[in-house]
Each structure stands twice: as structure tokens, then as C-alpha cells.
Amino acid sequence: MSARGLPLLLAAVLLAACAGSGAEREGTLYGRLGGAAGIEAIVDRFLYHLADNERSLPLFRNTDIERFREKFIEHLCELSDGPCAYSGDSMAATHRGMDITRAQFNSIVETLQQALADTDTPVGARNALLERLAALYREVAEQ
């Protein structure tokens, strides 16, 4: 390669990298999570890891897991600005009376983080999703 070739090549690589992150920033969080297929995979991995969540699993003892899966997918889709309208019960009504503690809330966040890691969700999208979920803390816990 000529002496001029290398800087040109580097500039091209840097430009391509910028274009990539720009596109990601412009897209919705839904898109960055991988759309419908991405969110379904995240929820399926969440359910897989929930089995090992000793702190919170007992609360799901009487839960219809098929319904939970469907509603959780729908909720994450809407929360991430995807093309869905959540049709389940409100967060407050769903979790009222469960006496969910901060430790239990954190354990569910950890289970979700395991799912996000399994699905290779980009770190920026992971953090953006966790931020939106953290904002729901008062509707879900310590009620």
C-alpha cells in the first residue's frame, strides 16, 4: 500500500464506523433491541433465567406463564417505541399487593441483564432499556 493509502483507508473505516453508530442513534430503541424477533428472544431468555431467580420466582407460583410471556413482550415493545399497544393490566394494578422489595426488583433487573447478554443486545440499547424500566420502579415496587 502507498504512503497515502493507509490514511485514506483509516478515514474510510472511521467514516463507516460513524455512519453505523449514527444510524443506531436515529433508530428507535425497539429497532436497536432487534425488533419483534429480538424482544421475543430477550423475553424467552428472561424466562429461562427466571427459573434460577430464587428471590423472585416464588411470586410467579400461580402465574400463567404463556400470558406473562405475551404481555411482557408487548409491554417491552411499547416501552421501546415499537409498533405495539400494550393490552395487559397496568403496572400498578398487576404488581399491587405483591409487596415487591428493592432487592426483588433488582433481582428481576439482573435476570433481564442475563437475557440481554445472552442475546448479544448492544450495550447502548441495554442501558437505554434498563433506564426506562427503572423509571417504573414506583409503579411496581414498594406500593
Footprint of ligand HEM (CB under 6 A): 56, 59-60, 62-63, 67-68, 71-72, 75, 88-89, 94-95, 100, 104-105, 108, 133, 136, 140
Annotated binding-site ranges: 95
C-alpha pair distances (Å), 30 with each of 13, 16, 56, 87, 99: 27, 23, 27, 18, 30
Q: Using DSSP, state whether 83 is helix, strand or coil.
A: coil
C-alpha pair distances (Å), 61 with each of 25, 58, 92: 40, 5, 19
Q: Is 41 or 68 the residue whose CB approaches ligand HEM more closely?
A: 68
Q: Using DSSP, state whether 113 is helix, strand or coil.
A: helix
Smallest separation (angstroms) from ligand HEM to the CB of 34: 18
Nearest residue to ligand HEM by CB is 88
Q: Is 84 or 136 the residue whose CB approaches ligand HEM more closely?
A: 136
Classify the C-alpha dihedral 65-66-69-70 as positive or negative. negative
Smallest separation (angstroms) from ligand HEM to the CB of 57: 9
Annotated binding-site ranges for heme: 95
Q: Is 36 or 136 the residue whose CB approaches ligand HEM more closely?
A: 136
Smallest separation (angstroms) from ligand HEM to the CB of 66: 10
Smallest separation (angstroms) from ligand HEM to the CB of 27: 22
Q: Is 63 or 127 the residue whose CB approaches ligand HEM more closely?
A: 63
